[in-house]
Structure 1
Amino acid sequence: MTDETTPTRLVGGALAFAVPSFPDERGVFRTPFRSSAFTPAAGHPLFPVAQVNFSVSRRGAVRGLHYTATPPGTAKYVYCAHGRALDFVVDLRVGSPTFGSYDVVELGREDSPALYFPLGVGHLFVALEDHTVMNYLLSLEYRPENELALDPFDPRLALPIPGDIEPVLSPRDQAAPSVDEALDAGLLPDYAVCRRLEERYSACQ
């Protein structure tokens, strides 16, 4: 069993939580989310879950860099249930002290964490193995008109996407704008707005 540890604090207020594992002769049982660990670390309970997704990806699949227009904004809780993925946490909130910064976490190892993404923090992952399964809990249901993307290969971000894979992207992600283009178009989340919305959501729980 993996002992409960203090969550790792990532860029932009994101959090990485240890996932307890309980192996026996049948296999292994894991607990990706526990309110007793989340609430003290985040300072509020997990958002009411509005939608649950999972994706299955081939090696080299690049999903992202994705974020939600804010308002309304969407928070995420993400876990790799099978395979391996390199997960990128990117602060896209204009005015944030860590704007444009990122953290990279490998998911899918026996000791890999679950990740919490607050409002305005972008998400990208690269599947390192075939049949990589990612699970997502979302604070709002998916609305295509609110879902936005940035070029994952934007030199300004310089995300360390592995060079030994052949990237596979959706047409939408291939055509996504750069950070500078999104800034000029006023598409990126505002740090102060994200903070106000998070405080409002927390007060309602």
Structure 2
Amino acid sequence: MKITETSIKGLMVIEPKIFTDSRGYFFESYSKAKFAEASINIDFVQDNQSCSNRGTVRALHAQSAPHAQTKLVRVIQGRVIDVAVDARKDSPTFGKYETIELSAENQKQFLIPQGFLHGFAVLEDNTIFAYKVDNYYSKECETGVRWNDPTLAIDWGIPANEAIISDKDQILPLFADWVSPF
């Protein structure tokens, strides 16, 4: 398992070692011991999974304290552009973001610490997205920023007119109007 920090402190890309043969493949998708060797000590408490079609954008969300969440995300089937925006007010990279393509083919994972907004755009029909979290969901602690915020100017990998957005996500505030709880 290869663990690499991105240009934003705390945000990590995890690449499992994949073993393939005529039967298919095998890899460890998570190893608490290997994470600990990399000084990543997270107590995950819940696994979540979604299935979405091409054009779906689920973004940009976070949970504030006391239910802030670290997420370990991956794609089981299909492809997404995954986005993490640094929302930590005192961070030198506040408002900066990283994107990564996660797919069933590359099996990469993205470790997104507490204090980040997170979202993804689905690039293929029937994409199955899975993630581990270190805290339980709380509606009262839900926060977010509009997916198509002009200040962030995120390239989601799909045309804006093809984006499928939930009613809830369409009314989230712009980044400039949002007060970060982190």
Matches within 5 A, 1:187-198: 188-190=180-182
Q: How does 1:10-21 map to 2 (within 5 A)?
A: 10-21=7-18
Higher helix share: 1
Match of 1:181 in 2: 177
- Residue type of the alignment partner of 1:105: I
Shift of 1:6: 4.5
Corresponding residue pairs, total = 181
Q: How big is the shift at 1:30?
A: 2.5
RMSD: 1.7
2:149 maps to which residue? Answer: 154
After superposition, where does 1:98-113 map in structure 2 within 5 Å? 98-108=93-103, 110-113=105-108
Which of 11, 20, 24 is equivalent to 1:23? 20
- Residues in 1 aligned to 2:174 and 2:159: alpha-carbon distance in whole angstroms: 23
CA deviations over 1:10-56 (Å, ceiling 9, x no partner):
42411111122122222222322223432233x242x2222110000
* Aligned CA distance change for structure 1 residues 163 and 52 (closer, same or farther; 3 Å): closer
CA distance in 1, matches of 2:109, 2:34: 12
C-alpha change, 1:138 and 1:67, in structure 2 (3 Å) is: same
Q: Unpaired runs of 5+ in structure 2?
A: none
Bigger share in strand: 2
Which amino acid counterpart does residue 151 of structure 2 have in structure 1? Answer: R
Which ranges of structure 1 fall in alignment gaps of 5 or more residues? Answer: 191-205
Q: Which one of 124, 132, 146 corresponds to residue 119 of structure 2? A: 124
In structure 2, distance between residues paired with 1:10 and 1:172:
31
Structure 2 counterpart of 1:102, one-letter code: Y
- Aligned mates of 1:92, 1:176 — CA distance in 2: 15
Q: TM-score normalised to the size of structure 1?
A: 0.81
Tell me, in whole angstroms, the C-alpha distance in 2 between the residues paired with 1:30 and 1:128. Answer: 24
